[in-house]
Structure 1
Amino acid sequence: MKIAIVHDNLVCKGGAEQVVLSFHQAFPKAPVYTLTYDAQNTYPEFKQCEVKTSWFSRIIKSEKNVKRFYFPLGILAMSQLDVTGYDVVLQSTTHCAKYIKTSPDALVITYCHNPFRLVWSTNSYEQVLKTGPLKKFLYQKVISVLKRIDSTSALRTNWFITNSTEVLSRIKTAYNPKNDITIINPSVKCNNFYLTGDIGEYYLVVSRFETYKKVDLVIEAFNSMPDKKLVVVGKGSREAEIKMLAQSNTTFYSGLGADELAGLYANCKAFIFPQLEDYGITPLEANASGRPVIAYGRGGVLETMIPYTTDSLKATAVFFDEQTKESLVSAINTFETLNFDASFIRAHAELFDEDNFVRKIRSFVSTKYQLKQAESESAWTNEPVKI
């Protein structure tokens, strides 16, 4: 069974990139194909992989420019990336991984983190909503082309996997898949994190600085609580704006090594997760460090966290109900009246450990490949498939 792994692009550090690393752990001999690769700004573990890129990577590497030149250059480059000759193509995607060339008889398995947001959730993009009539018209023309390409490319997928129930219905609506969709929750690498009794006086955010991540909401909350300390790790398109918003009780970091980041997780009072995510790995990383999470109580955290109701010693998180400064401040004040059990929180995170994810992915790929082989044999013999 010859396997190729395909991912949209490797230009940043995020949950989707961690899934690809887990794919590679499951199938260490499989090369990783991608639109473009920026070794300095994604996870260093990719240097141990055989990464194969499109011609786009020779001219575009930064995350900002990937977005700027995605249409039409990125689309064209990905559609020319050739992975014919592989028995199984295991894709990790939100947008362009499924555009690659595959053999007609290849088994194509797509781990869809979310249908292409620009195409299927256009109204979530401020630059589309808040632009003028002419530019909006041009956006809509481009989006209609992308929708046709995206839906046609999805037809090549034999089996879809996704990260949570939050996304499952979106995949059904966008792609109308031919087979049932399987949920395999992304993993956390528990071995990268540790517990310590030396808890600091700061709260922690680890996030990209993009609008939907709501880092500005956390900054505003802590601006109203100058006696509390906040540490923010990350970077992104709104970095300058968010740093300008912050007061002296907030400290920013970026480009940290794995050990430095693990230390910040282990010593924080709590991890703050203000955004609506389809899944979200960082709350589980905090839990793997024995630290509780203060989270907006919608989306993926409903599948990964145990919210406080009556017994904080059997909880991993405190939820807040609205994405407002007042709601977050109230949750922080509630948190400070509670006691949490670091060992219980760590044990909960271990249910999502990478070893479990790798085992499930290997089993899924193996089972579907055997089924495809049996179907091929039955086509020759006209006998029903037995598996």
Structure 2
Amino acid sequence: MNRIAIVHEWFTTMAGSEKVVEQICHLYPEADVFAVFADPDMVSRTRFLQGRRLRTTFIQDLPKARTAFRSYLPLMPLAVEQLDLSGYDLVISSAHAVAKGVLTGPDQLHISYVHSPIRYAWDLQHQYLRESGLDRGLKGWIAKWMLHKIRLWDYRTAAGVDHFVANSRFIGRRIHKVYGRSADVIYPPVDVDAFELCADKDDYYLTASRLVPYKRMDLIVQAFAQMPDKRLVVIGDGPEMPKLKAAAAPNIELLGYQEFSVLKHHLQCARAFVFAAEEDFGITPVEAQACGTPVIAFGRGGALETVVMSPDPAQATGVFFPEQTVESLVEAVRVFESHPEGFRPEVCRRHAERFSVDQFRQSFSAYVTARVTEFRESLR
């Protein structure tokens, strides 16, 4: 393929999806990059975007787009369709909202790496509306109508994708449910090399996340408040902080936002990392395992693919709790502490290496090469 375009929704923070784009850009240094919106400050300090041709849409120039670009979601399907990709042979989209909706022709190959179908338009719509206060009233009906139109567009544009790649089997099932299409799974890159193995553990449990409702940090705090003999350290900040402070007991330490070095130290030294969200993949539990730290996780979503619950100490990297309830998590801590042979730091580390940056680069590059070869042969 002579010319390659990489399409992403927006560049505003360096989160999980942007780290995927970073590695795709590393694989294809001559590719041009397209986005609905790009924060100039982020672009100026993001190495993989510097010196690269980056094109955005008309949303870039709308009033207050820099601080409230998400408010233009109803216009994003139209915006992404205005990106002219007609001069490219291969289009790689990184999609969790509208990026896969770019227009391509029959002589162009479109591979879409999907972090998730639009969460707030599909199965998480009701949760999104409830948490946004849009589940009732006139504004609620307008939001529901808008999301209905986005669903129609999202389903229709799936036909323009030649191959779907999911970031987990969980998301692969969501893609099949929403689009009726199969997806190959390539796990996203986790910088495991940034986390050194530590075999010496302190007697505390750790959880770390943005303090937003779906992360269920409140559940973790409430559970440990009922276990006064067990110490919990909480790292992160967000709108849920007042709620956590109200529920915290003397055995719970709320550290707020911390620099990476502090987070890494706590990940390395914790007895276990506690994770209560239903995530599409979930990077932090893998980072904890890279430190040799086992995980106590809610047994749904991507955690089922990144944490191993097994009676075999040569495989076990954590335990699951089946329900997002205080009782279920308390029982999981009991099971964790009664594990007959404990959890081996070197086993956790070895398992985390399955999700390394190098592994992603090798898998994604081989996948794209195979699809390009098939596509070229189909054009003959």
Q: TM-score range by the shorter chain?
A: 0.7 to 0.9
Q: Which residue of 2 aligns with 1:371?
A: 374
CA distance in 2, matches of 1:38, 1:228: 43
Q: Which residue of 1 aligns with 2:204?
A: 202
Q: Which residue of 1 aligns with 2:26?
A: 25
Superposed CA deviations along residues 296-324 of structure 1, whole A, max 9, x for unmatched, are 1122222222114x344531011112111
Sequence identity percentage: 35
- Residue 357 of structure 1 aligns with an amino acid whose one-letter code is F
User: What number of residue pairs does the alignment pair up?
Assistant: 370
Q: Which residue of 2 aligns with 1:175?
A: 179
Q: Which residue of 2 aligns with 1:319?
A: 320
Q: CA RMSD in A?
A: 2.8
CA distance in 2, matches of 1:184, 1:31: 23
Q: Which residue of 2 aligns with 1:384?
A: none
C-alpha spacing 1:60/1:108, structure 2 compared with 1 (3 Å): same
C-alpha spacing 1:41/1:332, structure 2 compared with 1 (3 Å): farther
Residue 271 (structure 1) shift: 1.0
- Residue 216 of structure 2 aligns with an amino acid whose one-letter code is K
Match among 358, 362, 386 for residue 361 of structure 2: 358
Pair 1:37 & 2:38 matched = yes
Q: Which residue of 2 aligns with 1:382?
A: none
C-alpha spacing 1:131/1:123, structure 2 compared with 1 (3 Å): closer
- 5+ long unaligned stretches in structure 1: 378-387
Could you tell which deviates more after superposition, 133-142 or 322-331? 133-142
CA distance in 2, matches of 1:240, 1:35: 34
Superposed CA deviations along residues 12-52 of structure 1, whole A, max 9, x for unmatched, are 34332222222223223323322233476799555557354
CA distance in 1, matches of 2:6, 2:258: 27
Pair 1:99 & 2:104 matched = no
Residue 255 (structure 1) shift: 5.8
CA distance in 2, matches of 1:41, 1:323: 36
Q: Which residue of 2 aligns with 1:383?
A: none
CA distance in 1, matches of 2:315, 2:177: 37
CA distance in 1, matches of 2:184, 2:367: 9
Superposed CA deviations along residues 107-126 of structure 1, whole A, max 9, x for unmatched, are 11111122112222223322
- Residue 15 of structure 1 aligns with an amino acid whose one-letter code is G
Could you tell which deviates more after superposition, 192-201 or 76-85? 76-85
CA distance in 2, matches of 1:227, 1:45: 46
Q: Which residue of 2 aligns with 1:266?
A: 268
CA distance in 1, matches of 2:51, 2:334: 45
Preserved contact between residue 213 and residue 275 of structure 1 (Cα < 8 Å): yes
Match among 253, 256, 269 for residue 256 of structure 2: 253
CA distance in 1, matches of 2:148, 2:24: 32
CA distance in 1, matches of 2:27, 2:99: 19
Residue 194 (structure 1) shift: 0.6
TM-score by length of 2: 0.86
C-alpha spacing 1:314/1:173, structure 2 compared with 1 (3 Å): closer
Q: Which residue of 2 aligns with 1:385?
A: none
Superposed CA deviations along residues 348-370 of structure 1, whole A, max 9, x for unmatched, are 11122221211111111112112
Residue 343 (structure 1) shift: 0.9
Preserved contact between residue 215 and residue 278 of structure 2 (Cα < 8 Å): yes
Superposed CA deviations along residues 266-289 of structure 1, whole A, max 9, x for unmatched, are 122211111112322221111111
Could you tell which deviates more after superposition, 276-285 or 11-20? 11-20
Q: Which residue of 2 aligns with 1:15?
A: 16
- Residue 27 of structure 1 aligns with an amino acid whose one-letter code is Y
C-alpha spacing 1:184/1:118, structure 2 compared with 1 (3 Å): same
Preserved contact between residue 59 and residue 72 of structure 2 (Cα < 8 Å): no
C-alpha spacing 1:161/1:147, structure 2 compared with 1 (3 Å): same
Residue 344 (structure 1) shift: 1.3
CA distance in 2, matches of 1:214, 1:278: 15
Preserved contact between residue 37 and residue 57 of structure 1 (Cα < 8 Å): yes
Residue 346 (structure 1) shift: 0.7
Q: Which residue of 1 aligns with 2:281?
A: 279
Superposed CA deviations along residues 246-281 of structure 1, whole A, max 9, x for unmatched, are 455222332623x44332321222111111123222
- Residue 152 of structure 1 aligns with an amino acid whose one-letter code is R
| Structure 2 residue matching 1:322: 3-state secondary structure | coil
Match among 184, 190, 215 for residue 186 of structure 2: 184
- Residue 287 of structure 1 aligns with an amino acid whose one-letter code is Q
Preserved contact between residue 201 and residue 268 of structure 1 (Cα < 8 Å): yes
CA distance in 2, matches of 1:5, 1:99: 13
Preserved contact between residue 272 and residue 295 of structure 2 (Cα < 8 Å): yes
- 5+ long unaligned stretches in structure 2: none
CA distance in 2, matches of 1:114, 1:337: 36
| Structure 2 residue matching 1:314: 3-state secondary structure | coil
Could you tell which deviates more after superposition, 222-231 or 346-355? 222-231
Preserved contact between residue 203 and residue 268 of structure 1 (Cα < 8 Å): yes
- Residue 60 of structure 1 aligns with an amino acid whose one-letter code is A
Preserved contact between residue 39 and residue 47 of structure 1 (Cα < 8 Å): no
Pair 1:90 & 2:95 matched = no
CA distance in 1, matches of 2:233, 2:364: 35
CA distance in 2, matches of 1:38, 1:205: 30
Q: Which residue of 1 aligns with 2:217?
A: 215
Residue 188 (structure 1) shift: 2.0
C-alpha spacing 1:285/1:216, structure 2 compared with 1 (3 Å): same
CA distance in 2, matches of 1:48, 1:41: 10
| Structure 2 residue matching 1:36: 3-state secondary structure | strand
